[in-house]
Amino acid sequence: MSDDFAVQTFELAKEFNGLRAVDGIDLKIREGELFSLLGPNGAGKTTTINMLCCLLKPTKGTARVAGYDVLNEPGKVKGHIGVSPQETVLSERLNSWENLSLFGKIYGMSSKEIRERSEELLERVGLLDRAKDQVRKFSGGMKRRLNLILALIHDPQILFLDEPTLGLDPQSRRAIWEYIESLKGKKTILLTTHYMEEADFLSDMVAIIDSGKIVALGTPNELKKKFADTGVLRVSTKGLRKDILEELKAEYETVNETAEELKIVRDDLDLKEVVDFLYSRNVSVYSAAREEPTLEDVFLRITGKRLRD
């Protein structure tokens, strides 16, 4: 275990009735880093988080969180982490103050500490003016914001966020993104999400897990450069003859033609070069635009496009 890492796993594995949900993964998450764990449904993301939070005991291997072993020192681990699960853990008949107070008392905080910390957090996520309203009157986005700060009431060193914006509208999702971004560098954050743009926007590092194994690891830009098509051009044309199409296919790695456009792929693609080539052969070009690769392109290339149960 290195002091540089807030979370480190060692051949971490978990089996359920002979099915290996997590298959010997090694992760290293630095202090203050926002680390995203991506994967299809059933890939092992939530199981991994549950082991790191000491809610599940590994079948094999171990992990250290905040310097403590999850097998031998679970109480110490739990004192240094905050968890925001997929399902909200709010008491609907209580108001925001009461929900935060309940969680603060679980962590042994004094009434003064709870009051000061609650006011700070509620103001930060825009809920202070609704703090005395019962949670059952809140919108989905408001509940998600409150669910998030429940995990922060005791000012934990490490934060686990499991699908924190699941099912939210774009405005609510963006508000939570901005709050999570404000925590970067102050907290170590492990995030799981199915929103690729969320991981791209927030992450320092990304690991893609599939069938319980880590299949890709790097910064978002590193993964896009390594796994995605870095030169993609879409061109809308008229007058493209078959012989010209064959010339293009001989020059570029991939040329796909539809009724309305060409999609051309090559790592060192030059937009002007393609357009000049087409004009020189009397092909009309209505539009030409370069596509930047996304983390979703990387995800689909690595994990495939078939539906998962």
Domains of the chain: residue spans and CATH = 5-226 (3.40.50.300), 229-292 (3.30.70.980)
pTM of this structure? 0.82
Can you count the helices (H) and strands (E) in the chain?
11, 15
Q: How confident is the model at residue 3 (pLDDT cuts 50, 70, 90)?
A: low
> Tens digits of per-residue pLDDT, 241-256?
888 888 888 887 678 8
DSSP letters for 49-66: HHHHTTSS--SEEEEEET
Both structure tokens of 123:
């103001």
Judged by phi (left if over 0) then psi (alpha if -120 to 50, else beta), residue 187 lies in beta
Judged by phi (left if over 0) then psi (alpha if -120 to 50, else beta), residue 44 lies in left
Which is nearest to 147 in space by CA: 158, 132, 159? 159
Q: Residue 2 above 70 pLDDT?
A: no
> Tens digits of per-residue pLDDT, 118-172?
999 999 999 999 999 999 999 999 999 999 999 999 999 999 999 999 888 888 8
- One-letter amino acid for residue 118 of the chain: S
Q: What's residue 123's pLDDT?
A: 95
Q: How many Cα atoms occupy the beta-carbon half-sphere of 277 within 13 Å? A: 18
Q: What's residue 285's pLDDT?
A: 86
